A and B are shown apart, each in its own frame.
Chain A
């Protein structure tokens, strides 16, 4: 059933569009989810210095590569937003697809990394360090997948010039996913 947008959605007492406001609240609630995982992990690392011997086996170079990939994809998200502001839907869509490309590349690198680690016997049950490693990066990876899907949908609409304000909203979300990785990278790959 096609649905007409209620008047409520078009109002803006704060001056911020409803979509953007909702994404900010979504990000706020996501921060506490990641805060729960990472806070628990940090407390464990402080209490167990010996976990460093497990952390040694993570691949810092692949982690760094993925950091660069995500940061570059965030740049494309900004360019997409810029194009959307100019009202150029086609260009916004193009840059959004580049961002999706970055997300996919991140996932490819990640799957190589995980395959290698699992083959060498470092699985989620090997040690609580590895449990945290897979769970934290896994929840983050889930966000990357969801973000890529949403960006794909928005890119298809944006190419037709529809709902260009959504480009900025999804960009905000994507930057958040990026920032979570900026926390994960030193915690899981550098802290050894």
Chain B
């Protein structure tokens, strides 16, 4: 610590003197080749949000096909079975790998970590830039795969062999390989980013910032990064094997040649299930920041949240086979994985309870970010509770691969990837752009998203409970799945989806209008304690022009009895 306090002795000598008075960097260096963590965060954010348009368009097209089979979908045309497979694959992989991951972890992590721990940048700025560039290449490869001969990959985002391994089954020789390459590049990008995040938080915290003074959202991003690093390895290995199966004709996953298709499922879900928590934890962290700020109350149990997050992370490595209960695994193994899966709901529920306890007795302000944060807890809870049905292997045999599963994980992933993202964007918008977003339109967008969201997935729960199977292109061929009322529920889900997508326009307009024309925001518009709010809005290069802050207390000192003001910034001396 002693070496770090020295840098404050001569303020203006360090980073600031080197950069502050230079000529303005040109467009290329400022926006495209920047090593500034805030710009890289923005690059991730805008790329992720653009990818959400692709993912959203895909779901619009295939949901229209399901509700109105054979119709010519406006903006696409008639949906063939091949199109359908490619669209569902694109929707799944884009929303998880190219929307949730880059926005929740890469964008927010990059933007927030150095600001919240009170330093001027990431420890490896050029590695950071490289990480975004590799990510951008992965995006381009993925988009290229849509135009390859045979079209985009249609083997679902889980890419189970033999469907994904053999061109004669998936019919997309190039699409399948390009998809796999894009996923592999994306993993490489996030590995670099993750190493950078963890090293930065371990080593570069502001003087005085101890382990338990780190804001929860930073902790969550770090735990998520470690989970990602520890779980993605086997899938990278698996991706290499699958690529050789596709291109060279090896037989890693082909029983005819001595391989085993279930091996892929193990490698995939060993990553795939921790991945759920990789995106969940940052979303929980965002919620923690907002719940405390908007109820003007100290976080109910800081350390409990932290320990439960670590516990969730550790447990998440032992639940993966609950995706494979009917894949022919040993039933004794299914029992073990049922138990671990049911166990993991305990720490997650505990986090929700802590947040509710934080609300209790607070002076709650229902501004847009807070609405999103509350909605996150409520909607995620439904996702979590329905997961218990699926974690129990006995019930899962019935529910497996039905719309019940689909509705369950959308009730977890939609709150994570969108509700939490919207809450983060509305909360940190004044910091990012120095202006407020419009509150009224923010609330219109909120209700216009939350209500249709429930009207999409409650019908799908009902359909799933009636045995409606996933991944079917045209239900009119299956009389059992066309019983009275079933098609009506599909139509209701699709119309709700179209409504939800339409309301996103409100957000886009509000976002860009506010960015340029919104009311000016001061440095600390929500009167929050964490360090990012003590920097100017938007923060300049180097973040803290008056010298990097020292930290004297934890991040959630709201409504302290000895103070006149109801907040107490982490860096305020008294």
Contacts and interface: CB of A to CB of B under 8 A. Distances in A.
Task: Say whether chain B's binding surface is mostly helix, strand, loop, or mixed.
Answer: helix
Interface string A1-33: 101101111111110101001100110111111
A128 B258 contact: yes
A157 to B, nearest CB: 16
B204 A13 contact: yes
Interface in B1-52: 1, 3-4, 7, 14-15, 18-19, 29, 33, 35
A48 B123 contact: no
Given A6-B123, A131-B252, A12 B195 contact: no
Contacts of A30: 233
Given A32-B229, A40-B267, A135 B240 contact: yes
Contact of A22 (B199, B235, B241, B251): B199
B474 interface: no
Interface stretch (B53-61, B62-70, B242-250): B242-250
A125 B249 contact: yes
Contact of B124 (A22, A39, A40, A129): A22
B251 A131 contact: yes
B123 A18 contact: yes
Nearest to A132: B252
B272 interface: no
A4 B18 contact: yes
A67 to B, nearest CB: 22
Interface string B250-262: 1110000111100
A116 to B, nearest CB: 20
B240 A25 contact: no
Nearest to A16: B203
Contacts of A135: 240-241, 244, 250
Interface string B137-165: 00000000000000000000000000000
A18 B257 contact: no
B162 to A, nearest CB: 15
A9 B123 contact: yes
Contact of A33 (B4, B203, B237, B250): B237
A139 interface: yes
Nearest to A129: B258
A167 to B, nearest CB: 18
Given A1-B33, A36-B234, A36-B237, A13 B203 contact: yes
A150 to B, nearest CB: 14
Interface string B392-421: 000000000000000000000000000000
A33 B267 CA distance: 11
B202 A13 contact: yes
Interface string A37-63: 101100110001001000000000000
A57 to B, nearest CB: 16
Interface string B118-145: 0111111110000000000000000000
A125 B202 CA distance: 45
Nearest to A18: B123
B203 A21 contact: yes
Contacts of B15: 4, 6-7
B114 interface: yes
Given A8-B122, A18-B123, A135-B241, A29 B233 contact: yes
A68 to B, nearest CB: 27
A125 B203 CA distance: 47
Interface in B240-292: 240-241, 244, 248-252, 257-260, 263, 267, 270
B231 interface: yes
B451 interface: no
B238 interface: yes
22 contacts: A9-B204, A11-B123, A11-B203, A12-B3, A13-B4, A13-B204, A18-B199, A18-B203, A21-B199, A26-B195, A29-B191, A30-B233, A33-B236, A35-B233, A37-B240, A40-B234, A40-B238, A40-B267, A44-B260, A128-B251, A131-B252, A135-B244
Q: Top 9 nearest A-B pairs by Cβ distance?
A: A32-B233, A36-B234, A36-B237, A6-B121, A33-B233, A128-B258, A8-B119, A8-B204, A131-B250
Interface of A: 1, 3-4, 6-14, 16, 18, 21-22, 25-26, 28-37, 39-40, 43-44, 48, 51, 124-125, 127-129, 131-132, 135, 139
Given A13-B204, A13-B205, A32-B232, 9 more contacts: A6-B119, A6-B121, A10-B7, A11-B119, A25-B194, A35-B234, A36-B237, A128-B259, A135-B240
